[in-house]
Each structure stands twice: as structure tokens, then as C-alpha cells.
Amino acid sequence: MVCGGFACSKNCLCALNLVYTLVSLLLIGIAAWGIGFGLISSLRVVGVVIAVGIFLFLIALVGLIGAVKHHQVLLFFYMIILLLVFIVQFSVSCACLALNQEQQGQLLEVGWNNTASARNDIQRNLNCCGFRSFNPNDTCMASCVKSGHQCLPCAPIIEEYAGEVLRFVGGIGLFFSFTEILGVWLTYRYRNQKDPRANPSAFL
């Protein structure tokens, strides 16, 4: 039997949503781990990661229930939501891969100026103070300040890894965006197939 029948479409859709469920739980776990070990103190960053994890979990749950029950309404909403997520994620991933070094620096500086708690985490973990320069009147949690040594600015350290991080995030985003369009195609095909265990004359 080729992978084109009702059972195969159902199993593929269930497997895809199980992967999404694992990824969502992984995101929530990473956020909790970062808070627990003191690596992240920014509630905004943790909140965004947890919100993305919960959103992905709910989407996967809708898709899984719709696939198991062959529920037309759930499958339709799942397909529409997945298509919208694909459009947003594909656009963001392409933007991450297209940013040049100057644009990366501008984006990092905007983020630096707008997130005080994340800024403190970066200074403490990277042992640096200030973005381009450090004002002694500002607060810095880096160990170099406590030890009396000269502190390096954070911008060169962050920019050294920013390109690699953006390429990694963009690549992962593109990979998952293609799994989402695969999910849309599987859902569309599965919705239009008849359940062989049901009444052959009925369209479910």
C-alpha cells in the first residue's frame, strides 16, 4: 500500500503533531530551566518563550484531535492557523537571514535600550558593561566591576555571535516553516479522504 491512503495520511499528521508537542514542551522546559538556574531574569523574555510554547502546544493538540477523530471543523481551523503561522514564520526567518552586519548592530542596540532586565543578564553572563561604552554612574552586574578591573563593552562580544545566532534561528525557522506547509498539505488531503471504516456512501 503506497503512502497516499487514509491511514497513512492520518498517521503522518499525528506524527507531525506529536513532534510539535515535543517542541512546545521543550520550549516551556528551557524557559523554566533558565529561570530556575538564574540564567534569565527577564520576565518578558521568559513570558514570550512560554507563550510561544503554549501556543504551539494548543495548535498541536487541535491537529492531533482533528486527525484522530477525522473532525472536519477542527482540521479546517488547524489548517488555517498553520498556514498563517507559516507565513509569519517564513517572513521572520528570511528577515533573520537577510540582515547585514549594520542592521544587526542597530537591532541589537534597540533591544539593548528597551530591555533592562535582559541587559543585566547579558552583562552578568558575558562579564561586560555598557553597549558601546560604559557610564560609571550606571549599574552593572558584571564581575569585572566588583573586582575593580576594566570592563569591556558588550557590543563587540554580542556582535561576534549575533550573526551566527541569527543564521541559526533563521535556518531553524525555515525548517519548521516547511514542516508547517507540509502539515497544511497533509491536512487538506486528509480532510478530503473518506474513512474506510465508515459508511462508504458517507463523506466525513
Q: What is the pLDDT of residues 131-143, one digit of tens each?
A: 777 777 777 777 8
In a domain? residue 94: yes
**What is the rounded CA–CA span in Å between residue 164 and residue 152?**
21
**What is the rounded CA–CA span in Å between residue 116 and residue 85?**
30
In a domain? residue 140: no
- Comparing 13-17, 42-46, 111-115, 184-188, which segment has the lowest mean pLDDT? 42-46
Give Cα 80 distance to the centre of its chain.
19
pLDDT at 201 over 60: no
Positive or negative CA dihedral for 184, 188, 193, 197?
positive
In a domain? residue 166: yes
- Residue 87: its pLDDT value, please? 92
In a domain? residue 178: yes
Query: How many domains is the chain built from?
Result: 1
In a domain? residue 172: yes
- Residue 58: its pLDDT value, please? 93
pTM of the predicted model over 0.85: no
Cell for 112? 539593548
186 or 97: which carries more pLDDT confidence? Answer: 186
- Residue 43: its pLDDT value, please? 65
Give the angle 105-122-100 at the CA atoms, nearest 5°.
15
In a domain? residue 138: no
In a domain? residue 139: no
Cβ neighbour number for residue 104 with a 10 Å cutoff: 17
**What is the rounded CA–CA span in Å between residue 87 and residue 155?**
32
- Residue 132: its pLDDT value, please? 77
In a domain? residue 203: no
Cα atoms in the 13 Å half-sphere on the side-chain side of 124: 13
- Residue 16: its pLDDT value, please? 92
- Residue 204: its pLDDT value, please? 43
Q: For residue 57, give its domain range.
A: 2-133+145-192
Residue 203's pLDDT band (boundaries 50, 70, 90)?
Answer: very low
pLDDT at 173 over 70: yes
Cell for 52? 510561544
